[in-house]
Amino acid sequence: MNARKRIKRLAVAITGGTVLVFGVALLVLPGPAFLVIPAGLGILAVEFEWPKRWLVKVRDWVQRKRS
């Protein structure tokens, strides 16, 4: 893995991880946790596979709740 790819992966991990942790904190603090958590997962999904699976599960859960 070259240096540019590592830097991009690290930047995505830090940014997405920070947004995700902030979203989890919003579960107990006042704020839109259910908007921030998927945003953090979306950022992480750019470089990692596990958030993509979580986003699919969340999307399926929301669709089941709507019907």
Q: pTM for this one?
A: 0.84
Q: Is the pLDDT of residue 1 over 80?
A: no
Q: Where are the beta strands (DSSP E) in 24-65?
A: none
CA separation for the pair 32, 36 (Å, rounded): 6
**Which residues span the domain enclosing 25?**
3-66
For the chain, how many structural domains are there in total?
1
**pLDDT, tens digit (0-9, with 9 covering 90-100), for 9-29:** 999 999 999 999 999 999 999
Half-sphere exposure of 13 (CA within 13 A, CB side): 9
